[in-house]
Structure 1
Amino acid sequence: MFKRLSSLLIPLTAILLGLLAGAVIMLLSGYDVMSGYSALWNGIFGETYYIGETVRQITPYILSGLAVAFAFRTGLFNIGVEGQLLAGWTAAVWIGTAVEAPMFIHLPLAVCAAALAGALWGFIPGFLKARFYVHEVIVTIMMNYIALHVTNYLIMYVMTDHKDKTEKISETASLRSDFLERITDFSRLHWGIVIALLAAVIMWIIIQKTTKGFELRAVGLNQHASQYAGMSVKKNVITAMVISGAFAGMAGAMEGLGTFEYASVKGSFTGVGFDGIAVALLGGNTALGVVLAACLLGGLKVGALNMPIEAGVPTEVVDIVIAIIILFVASHYIIRLMIQKSGSKGGK
């Protein structure tokens, strides 16, 4: 009972401490705290357009968070979600621009191509980890930079003729919806949110309801015991990274087929893949937790854009709030100790 209660109280406590720290920073900087947080709230829920943009931002966060969380649940730290996302984004747009087919074929094909590209990018560190015991953190970090430059090359010299931006994808490959745009005052909300939520359900089913999920969790908890029980540790490590990469690739598809509908040369990372680490940590590496954490992080990111306009508060304040939330979640044992002590005092 305490374990379940603490798993809920720890992220809530971290969020409250983060917001409190943000308030202190605003006070010390001479800003009005109530105006700042009111502007943040209005930037999320104040207009239907903001709500649509918030849900749009939540969509790739769910998928990148699932990618990190799935790897975590199997004892792996996939920092390469950003690179896998870029690979998926490029593959989805490539199919979206190069293939002509009806929507019921074209759109699923583009999403599957993104998942396959992300899975392939995840397979490489998974194979190196399983075969040569190369630490996945080192490999995935390097793979991020390889993905950035390889996708830039493909965009400039293969998908276009020395251009830094591809053509817009065909309508048959687009996730955009006139209906969703109309009800959200022409925001960039698209049907990707449905795919993201389905992906969360799929992760829950794989982890909790399948034999393979049991093996993956067992390998994550204790590789030696799993191997003694007859499980293939190497095979499960590769499988975990492939599935994690597929989620990340689909996150890229949400950007390429929904938000932007094209691919462009990038001078730096998008940040969505790295934000997925925060989403997974805050969500406790569970499917439902990732969805809720993505809602929080996506809301803060979009709402922060309204703070300079309405209250004159810089958006960096929200970045600090998010960082402090992550800090407290990462050091959850401190919060757990505080909760235990308060519970023991209450019992006396």
Structure 2
Amino acid sequence: MMFSNRLFNILVPIISVLLGLISGAIIMLIFGYNPIAGFAALWNGAFGDAYFFGETIRQVTPYILSGLAVAFALRSGLLNIGVEGQVFMGWLASVWIGISFELPMVLHLPLAILAAAIAGAFWGFIPGLLKAKLGVHEVIVTIMMNYIALYLSNSIVRNLLSDGADRTENVAATASLQSNWLAEMTFYSRIHYGFIVALLMALVMWFIINRTTTGFELRSVGFNQHASKYAGMNVSKNIILAMVISGAFAGLAGAMEGLGTFGFMSIKSGFTNIGFDGIAVALLGANTAFGVILAAFLFGILKIGALNMPTAAGVPTELVEIIIALIIFFVASSYMIRWVILRFKKEGK
């Protein structure tokens, strides 16, 4: 049975991606587009030259962190829909520190990154506390807090961090993740050092979940709260802790945008979708650190590569969104895939 579960966990994401791509090809054929040319354009748009490669890595970076945020909460039995709002708060906090202090880089950059993690953690703490103490469902609270974060950050940017302007000034060079030599090497893409931070955080999540007593308790609470409480675990504490750590990962995703991709924060008319895409990344990555990295790469390739499809193959970029939706649909329908796998396994005997 353990072998079947491992096989299932590996095959479901792979089969889901393949089914999504095949379905996308069928849709292209139905609407008169060449699927081979479409997917070739997508690949070239992601890896065709150094610039596209740099942009793909830049897109992958916040996806890893937002995926980790969702995955960590899910491993603890919680659904953090508020990653998008926590991204906003992390972005805001990192830029605030980045423009407000004059410090050497060895202090300024870590301080700005830490501020983002703390801001995201605080935004995750609120729904965690309400869930643990009052039984308020975290999905409802986190959804509402996304809107609070959006409009609160807009107000702070306009009234506190600028003189009524639509954006802040650029963060100081000592608080920036941007790199001149990386930009030159990739034909001035927006790639930055945040990718290293994202990989390190994936390692941190793996270590916490799989190698610590805290991680064991979080997973136990996620599997069965009543059994965990009976075993002497503090369920309320673990719920709050899970949301705090999840929010910290999300806040770091915001720092990647504030200190890396853009170097400032501007007024937003809507959501960035980094947090919402993180839900898809976590599901496709089976809520594991390594799986999230792979899924983030796939989504980065699809998002950046799609920009080349209209010009190179005449295929609308919306088709990629359909493919992503289909991939998530097949992941969500994993019980059907499992049934097929087990059916073939029985017939093989």
TM-score range, shorter chain: over 0.9
C-alpha distance in 2 between matches for 1:93 and 1:140: 23
C-alpha distance in 2 between matches for 1:46 and 1:24: 24
**Residue equivalent to 1:65:** 67
**Residue equivalent to 1:315:** 317
Which one of the candidate residues 55, 58, 67 is aligned to 2:57? 55
C-alpha distance in 2 between matches for 1:137 and 1:12: 28
The correspondence of residues 45-194 of structure 1 with structure 2, limited to 5 A, is: 45-194=47-196
**Residue equivalent to 1:246:** 248
Instruction: Give per-residue Cα distances to partners, 1:22-62, cap 9 Å, x unaligned.
Output: 11111111111111011001011111111110000000000
C-alpha distance in 2 between matches for 1:218 and 1:33: 45
Instruction: Give per-residue Cα distances to partners, 1:56-103, cap 9 Å, x unaligned.
Output: 000000000000000000000000000000000000000000111000
Structure 2 residues without counterparts, runs of 5 or longer: none
**Residue equivalent to 1:262:** 264
The number of aligned residues is: 347
| Range 239-248 or range 29-38, more displaced | 29-38
Deviation at 1:330, TM superposition (A): 1.0
Instruction: Give per-residue Cα distances to partners, 1:271-314, cap 9 Å, x unaligned.
Output: 00000000000000000000000000111100000000100100
C-alpha distance in 2 between matches for 1:45 and 1:157: 41
The correspondence of residues 269-308 of structure 1 with structure 2, limited to 5 A, is: 269-308=271-310
Alignment-mate amino acid for residue 138 of structure 2: E
**Residue equivalent to 2:236:** 234
Deviation at 1:6, TM superposition (A): 1.3
Deviation at 1:260, TM superposition (A): 0.3
Which one of the candidate residues 213, 220, 229 is aligned to 2:222? 220
Deviation at 1:181, TM superposition (A): 1.1
C-alpha distance in 2 between matches for 1:16 and 1:22: 10
Structure 1 residues without counterparts, runs of 5 or longer: none
C-alpha distance in 1 between matches for 2:261 and 2:75: 29
C-alpha distance in 2 between matches for 1:34 and 1:328: 22
**Residue equivalent to 1:29:** 31
Alignment-mate amino acid for residue 305 of structure 2: G
C-alpha distance in 2 between matches for 1:33 and 1:237: 46
Alignment-mate amino acid for residue 102 of structure 1: P
Instruction: Give per-residue Cα distances to partners, 1:191-242, cap 9 Å, x unaligned.
Output: 0000000000000000000001101000110101111111100000000000
In the superposition, the TM-score normalised over structure 2's length comes to: 0.99
Deviation at 1:121, TM superposition (A): 0.2
C-alpha distance in 1 between matches for 2:207 and 2:167: 38
C-alpha distance in 2 between matches for 1:148 and 1:12: 35
3-state SS of 2:160 partner: helix
**Residue equivalent to 1:345:** 347
C-alpha distance in 2 between matches for 1:20 and 1:309: 22
Deviation at 1:344, TM superposition (A): 1.3
C-alpha distance in 2 between matches for 1:175 and 1:69: 25
C-alpha distance in 2 between matches for 1:85 and 1:235: 23
Deviation at 1:2, TM superposition (A): 1.6
Does 2:39 correspond to 1:41? no
Alignment-mate amino acid for residue 22 of structure 2: L
Alignment-mate amino acid for residue 279 of structure 2: I
C-alpha distance in 2 between matches for 1:345 and 1:325: 27
Question: Could you list the runs of 4 or more consecutive aligned residues of structure 1 that deviate by over 4 angstroms after TM superposition?
Answer: none
Deviation at 1:343, TM superposition (A): 1.4
Alignment-mate amino acid for residue 108 of structure 2: H
Deviation at 1:342, TM superposition (A): 1.3
Alignment-mate amino acid for residue 283 of structure 1: G
Percentage of identical aligned residues = 63
Instruction: Give per-residue Cα distances to partners, 1:97-130, cap 9 Å, x unaligned.
Output: 0111000100000000000000000000000000
